Each structure stands twice: as structure tokens, then as C-alpha cells.
Structure 1
């Protein structure tokens, strides 16, 4: 029996900007994406989001609301992968790319709509902006 895999993503809005990583590995190698990754066995989704964010961006975050659950079987070319996306608030750390990120950068909120984002991360950001009442 096949089962979907579970991932997490984090939307970090900080000083009128959003934190994105440039993917180091396929799929979407070289594209910008939200920090995130696979939930490990015996790990909560909240712990996974905090860990993945730290590993990929160098930032320490606390988690807020859930932006949404993204379960379209076609959202990831690797297979049926479900993502739970959280709002994250920066509480420390230094912006530095690591693990699966080739680069990490703050993008102005109005610049995000011009970027070709990996996966369905454009839709996730639209949902996050709606949740936060960002126009």
C-alpha cells in the first residue's frame, strides 16, 4: 500500500519581507521556495517546521497559525506529498543558507509575485498574505 509523505513549510514575514530559499537539489533546483522539508519519524510537525527552518535559513522561529494544508497529489513531482504550512516569527539566528538551500534571502512582499516559485508556494504565500491581511 502506498501512502502520501508529510512535509512542512514556514512562511516567515519579517520587516515587510518574506524569507525564501533557493533550492540546492531537485526537484526545482535553483528555484526559490519556502523553507521546509520532510517530517521525520517520531517528530511533531511543529518541531519539524522549526528544525527545517533553522537548517535551511539559520533563523530561529516560533510558530503561529497554520496557513493551510496542501494535499493536491500533483503538487510535487516526486509523488503525493502533503505539506502543512505554518506562519513563523523570527526570534533569533542569522540568515545563512545551509543543508538543502543554495541561498537564502529576504524578498520585499511586493516582489514575491514576480518570482517563479517552486511547488505551489505561490499559492501558499497568497493564502498567508490573505490570512495576515497583506494586500
Structure 2
């Protein structure tokens, strides 16, 4: 029996640099389409825990070893990635040191939430709004499930 088609799974990581007083975050400029600035992250490998993928992707793209602190939310809008339906788990992590753009990252920026660079890829503007609320309140991303919508 053929396996049903399902969305791809990704892990994204909001990396707070805890060795700096303002706790800025790290964004990458994507080397490959879709271009733009993005939260570091990537696809989960078969057989890999989502949390392990988050730690691996952070290291591969920014050279930072991170400690996962919280799950901000799951983002599953079928249209969030122009390449196809991708579901991502977004984590908040802490790291120290000097990040370096590597792997899929063409460039890297250390930013405050009030000073974001250029156009953001995917639904990362929404994710960063949720993260801003998380930093202010300690509450994870709100559920966006529309109970009035017909999902059949």
C-alpha cells in the first residue's frame, strides 16, 4: 500500500544571545530560494527528533551551540512556504559567542526585535510577532485554529 503524502516537517530556532545585555536574536539571509531574512532552521531528517534537528540546524547555519529553552509554537499554514506544505516547530534557544553564517546562510545579522533587516521569508514576520509577545509575557504562541472554518 502506498504511503500517503504528508507535509514536510521543519524546526526553526529563535537564538537569543545571552552574553549580550539586550539578548538580541540571530537571523540569517537565505542563500537559496525563497530568498530573504529568516529564523535559522531547516528540515527534520527521517529518524531524527525535532528537537535534535533544531540544535543541528542552529549549529549548521550559525556555528552556535544552543540550549533549547521553550517551544514557541507549531506553524502549519499550508501556504506558509512557497515550496510546498511545510509544518515547523519553532523553538526559543539560548547561546553565547559570535555566530558565523554557514551552510544555507548567505549572511547573518544580530538584531533586536525593533530593528529587523529587510524582507522576511516564509511566515517569519508572524513568528517574530509571537516571539515578541513571548518575551513580554512569557506566553507561547496563540492558537490560530479557526473553529468556524470547515476543515473537511
TM-score by length of 2: 0.81
Give the corresponding residue for 1:122. 125
Among residues 11, 16, 23, which one is paired with 2:30 in the alignment? 23
Greater strand share, structure number: 1
Give the corresponding residue for 1:78. 83
Give the corresponding residue for 1:100. 104
Give the corresponding residue for 2:40. 35
Where in structure 1 do 4 or more consecutive aligned residues deviate above 6 Å?
A: none
TM-score by length of 1: 0.90
Among residues 103, 111, 114, which one is paired with 1:110 in the alignment? 114
How far does residue 117 in structure 1 lie from its aligned partner after superposition?
A: 0.6
Long gaps (5+) in structure 1 = none
- Does residue 8 of the first structure (1) align with residue 11 of the second (2)? yes
Give the corresponding residue for 1:53. 58
Alpha-carbon contact 1:7-1:37 (below 8 Å) kept: yes
Q: Pairwise CA RMSD of aligned residues?
A: 1.4
Alpha-carbon contact 2:113-2:132 (below 8 Å) kept: no
What is the aligned length? 130
Alpha-carbon contact 2:27-2:38 (below 8 Å) kept: yes
Q: Answer with 1 or 2: which has the greater Rg.
A: 2
Long gaps (5+) in structure 2 = 138-152
